[in-house]
A and B are shown apart, each in its own frame.
Chain A
Amino acid sequence: MDIKYYIALSLTLFSIGIVGVLTRRNAIIVFMCVELMLNAVNLLLVAFSNMHAASTAAKALPTFASDAQIFVFFIMIVAAAEVSVGLAIIVMLYRNTHSIDVNFLNRLKN
């Protein structure tokens, strides 16, 4: 299984996420699309780590490929933190405007 299929897959998911961000106006869904993008990255990282594990250098150092997976772990941490803050903001917004349309508030422009 060559790496480029993984690249293709995660890029596809990533782009779908972007398209979602572009097309949807529901704040929550936009946010979910971002999460999708993050997961695409995670997948890619894990794939890369195994790619490197397959390379010669891995033999010397057993935990060689773990870095990427640790990184993914941290990404998940950050994602969680972001989610808590993000949802808090969205809730606050909803509380004030009773809408979660990202374009509903449009006071700041030009």
Chain B
Amino acid sequence: MGITTISFILLSLMAVASSVMMITSKSPVNSILWLIVVFFAISGHYILLNAQFLAIVNIIVYAGAIMVLFLFVVMLMNLNAESEPAKNHRLQFIGVISGGSLLLVLLSAFMTVKNDHPVMLAGGNAGLIKTLGKVLFTDYVLPFEISSVLFLSAMVGAVVIGKKD
């Protein structure tokens, strides 16, 4: 029961708990905040897994940029607990049941696997910015360029949709 194990358990509990809070909390603002907590937990996991770059990017891009954007939109529309539309409890119940059973089915598929896939923790240089950078601009240059098309289209889209006319 090393430190890593304990931190793994703690981070996992944190992630799960706060994501549950995220989907249950009435007000959108709270949900967003809870989601940010989840992201922090996941970043913690990244660090455990020695993927510092992703950990940082996760914080910056997700928690930083995206979530703020969300928050911004929510504020813009000044949504709050009152504006939350009325729930349909039957549908929710069924939803929880089916989602849960999906989880069970999937887990049951893996619990049969025996323990021979250890994960290397706190070691190796795969996650280092240096390595990633080299790989990204050599092997992955094509997807990298292509992703620019993605951004272009997203940009154009945002303009087309968002522009008032």
| A interface, CB within 8 angstroms of B | 1-9, 11-13, 15-20, 22-26, 28-29, 32-33, 35-36, 39, 42-43, 46-47, 49-51, 53-54, 58, 62-67, 69-70, 72-74, 76-85, 87-92, 94, 99-101, 103-104
Contact = CB atoms under 8 A, between A and B. Distances in A.
Contacts of B12: 5, 9
A88 to B, nearest CB: 4
Contact of A15 (B69, B100, B151): B100
Interface string B116-153: 01111101111100011011100010010001001101
Contacts of B92: 22-23
B113 A23 contact: no
A70 B66 CA distance: 19
Given A19-B100, A69-B51, A99-B85, A83 B124 contact: no
B96 to A, nearest CB: 6
Interface residues of B, number: 84
Contacts of B79: 26, 28, 100
Q: Which residue, of B19, B107, B134, B155, has the highest number of chain A Cβ atoms within 10 A?
A: B19
Binding site of B, secondary structure by majority: helix, strand, loop or mixed? helix
Given A32-B35, A51-B120, A76-B61, A84 B158 contact: yes
The 7 closest A-B pairs by CB, nearest first: A22-B95, A65-B126, A20-B23, A19-B99, A54-B120, A81-B154, A15-B103
B69 A83 contact: yes
B85 A101 contact: yes
A72 to B, nearest CB: 6
Contacts of B31: 29, 32
Nearest to A64: B126
A15 B102 contact: yes
Interface string B1-18: 000110010001001100
Contacts of A19: 23, 95-96, 99-100
Given A76-B61, A92-B162, A8 B110 contact: yes
B73 A47 contact: no
Nearest to B153: A81
Contacts of A100: 77, 79
